[in-house]
Structures are given as C-alpha cells and as structure tokens.
Amino acid sequence: MTKPDLENTLRIIGGNWRSRKVSFADQIQIRPTPARVRETLFNWLQYHIAGSRCLELYAGSGILSLEALSRGARHVTLVDAAASICSHLHGVLQALAADPQSYTCSSSTALAYLQANPNLTPFDLIFLDPPFDSKELSSILPLLAAGKLVTADGFVYIESAAVVDQQVLPEGWQIHRQKRAAGVHYCLCRPARES
C-alpha cells in the first residue's frame, strides 16, 4: 500500500465489520469523523442503531453509515454532491459484501436532495457533517424540521467548527448530548417529544 493509500484509509471500530479497513475517495473536501469521536457517538447511540434507518448527508468517507450498518442498522441512505464519491462508496459497500437492499447512494447536494424528496419516510438517525466553512446547517435543519424527517425517538448528529447551541436548532428541538474533540464540535440533538 502506498503512502497516499494509507492516508485514505479508515478502520471501522465496531460491529460485524470491526477492524475492517476501508478506503475513502481522494477528495480534498473529505474530513472523516475521527475514531475517538465515532466511538463516543456510537456509545451514545448504542441502543438506537439496531434496525434503524439512517440518512448521511455530506457523506464524504461514508464512515458514519458504515459504522451504523456494521452495528445492525437496517438501511442507510448516503448523499454526496460528488458523483465520484458515491461511486467509491458503492465499491466500498460491495467489498464489505453489504446487502444491496441495505443502502442507497445519491449524487446530489444535501439541499437539492431534501427539496427533491419532500415525502421521505422519517429517519431514526440523520448524520450532518457539512463543510466547516459553509453555512448550510441554517438551511438544512429547518428542512428536516418542516418535513418531520426525524422519527419520534430519532436523533440528528451534527459536526461543526463552532459549538452548536439552541440558536442554531429549529424551534422545539433540543440538544441531547455534546462534546468537543480538538477543533471539532459534535452533538446529538432531537425534536422535542410530543406529549
């Protein structure tokens, strides 16, 4: 394996594919979620993964969806604007012998995907890791809320350069847990449960 190949490799840290190395597309904008952050996130979610339906917008390396499938998610939908990234993710999932019925990959921007699919069935988990220099959370979160795209017991995971606070979230949403690792702020949030 050449040095560039090693730099584009991640290890799945839990579940059926634990310790399997997977590659990710050689794209400068990809910023994989660090292993330590993934470990914390999936500890938070340990009782919510099995049988879940997940949506990963800004898929990039796809590592969050791969971790979810490895731990028993029923289906993941990966969305990324770059067709080459979607093609690479298809190859990674095939190499893992993932059930073809357990995933879909869409080449689209996050905003265009949500606008083109207004009647999506709500997801149990939504992973959001937009480019840190973008302001896309302010457009995406209201669409998720308006479309009621999170199940009653579901969560939205957000990674960002700045801390996520109530000002960023749609009305009625709440922060469930949050942490920081180096320059990455990450949190789980959810719509308030209806009484």
Assign residue 67 the CATH number of its domain.
3.40.50.150
Task: Give mean pLDDT, residues 60-69.
Answer: 95
Residue type, 92: V
Q: Domain count of the chain?
A: 1
**pLDDT at residue 1 is higher than 70:** no
* Distance separating alpha carbons of residues 156 and 14, to the nearest angstrom: 20
DSSP 32: P
Mean pLDDT rounded to a whole number for the chain: 90
Q: What is the pLDDT of residue 2?
A: 36
Q: Print the domain residue range for 187.
A: 3-191
Q: Which long-range contacts (CB under 8 A, 24 or more apart) does 164-169 make?
A: 164/137, 164/189, 168/137, 168/138, 168/141, 169/141
